[in-house]
Structure 1
Amino acid sequence: MCSPSPWWPVAEGGCPRVGGCNETRMLEKLPRCGKAFADMMRTVEVWKWCNLSEFIVYYQSFTNCTEVETNVVGCYWPNPLAQGFITGVHRQFFSNCTVDRTHWEDPPDAVLIPLIAVPVLLTVAMAGLVVWRSKRTGQLL
């Protein structure tokens, strides 16, 4: 039994219908969420669009809206069509946001060779010490 969520309008059913997902109706309703989000984003300066803390409340409202509209027409959220719509909104507002990725490169040979050689030499030394000690222990008894 589905219990209504505070995000689902009870007047429109409150829960996804048993009859199935009305994808056409969902695609008609989702642009309302996109328009509301666009209107809210106009209050944020464009250069702040990549800073989530500047518009997180608007984005949460957008997400809640897409979930409500999807559930009202009997569809589950997320679904491929809703995700496609959300991706389109992301492209519209966040296409210029890039993640600064660290460019990794190998350290110079003067650093790399000791980092490899020291553990190898320690491993050989420890193995030799264990073998030597095991032979010596047999002689003491």
Structure 2
Amino acid sequence: WIKCRTFSQNTWILFLVLAQTFLIVCNESLMLEKLPRCGKSFEEMMKKVDSKKWCNLTEFIPYYDNFSLCTEQEASAARCFWPNRLAQGFITGIHKQFFSNCTSEKVHWEDPPDEILITLILIPVLLMVAMISLVVWCSKRSDILV
């Protein structure tokens, strides 16, 4: 009976220890205190890039990668998941600061002229009709295949 009781107490203690390690409490104030360091570092790196090239991802991708890793590490150090709403809010602020004038140019597709469109539709249709006719004709003339 003593062994069972000891086992049960040990099990309970083990459970509590494991529960504490799995219980992650995000320290949001610490994360919000540390994230601006990432923004400051990104801002310093972006000063090296001409502001006219801020919309060209290839010009600053290494800096943005460092910024992203920094925010992830700071969130992790504060025992917070990443991304989370606070980190996303901070990242969105950085995006507004640097990339608010970047717009994607949408290509407006137009149909080709009617003559070309009709030709592009009729060619495959006529080819299918020709192939079906050829198969039917060959199946009726099975004597030439033997």
**TM-score scaled by structure 2?**
0.73
**CA distance, structure 1, for counterparts of residue 112 and residue 35 of structure 2:** 51
- Specify the alignment match of 1:125 in structure 2: 130
SS in 1 for 2:68: helix
Which residue among 47, 56, 60 is the counterpart of 2:52?
A: 47
Structure-2 residue corresponding to 1:90 = 95
Deviation at 1:87, TM superposition (A): 2.0
Task: Tell me the residue number matched to 2:142.
Answer: 137
Q: Give the unaligned 5+ runs of structure 1.
A: 1-15
Paired amino acid for 1:80: R
User: What is the match of residue 113 of structure 2?
Assistant: 108
Structure 2 unaligned residues grouped into runs of 5+: 1-20
Which has the larger Rg? 2
- Note the C-alpha offset of 1:72: 0.2
Q: 2:82 matched to which residue of 1?
A: 77
Q: Does 1:19 align with 2:19?
A: no
**What CA distance in whole angstroms lies between the structure 2 residues aligned with 1:22 and 1:44?**
34
CA contact (8 A) 1:44 1:54 kept: yes
1:18 positional shift: 4.4
Conserved? CA contact 2:24–2:80, under 8 Å: no
- Aligned residue pairs total 126
Runs of 4+ residues deviating >6 angstroms = 138-141
**Comparing both structures, which one devotes a greater share of its residues to helix?**
2
Q: CA deviation at 1:139?
A: 8.8
| CA distance in structure 2 between the partners assigned to 1:113 and 1:136 by the alignment | 34
Aligned equivalent of 2:35: 30
Change beyond 3 A, Cα 1:138–1:79: farther
The SS at the match of 1:55 is: helix
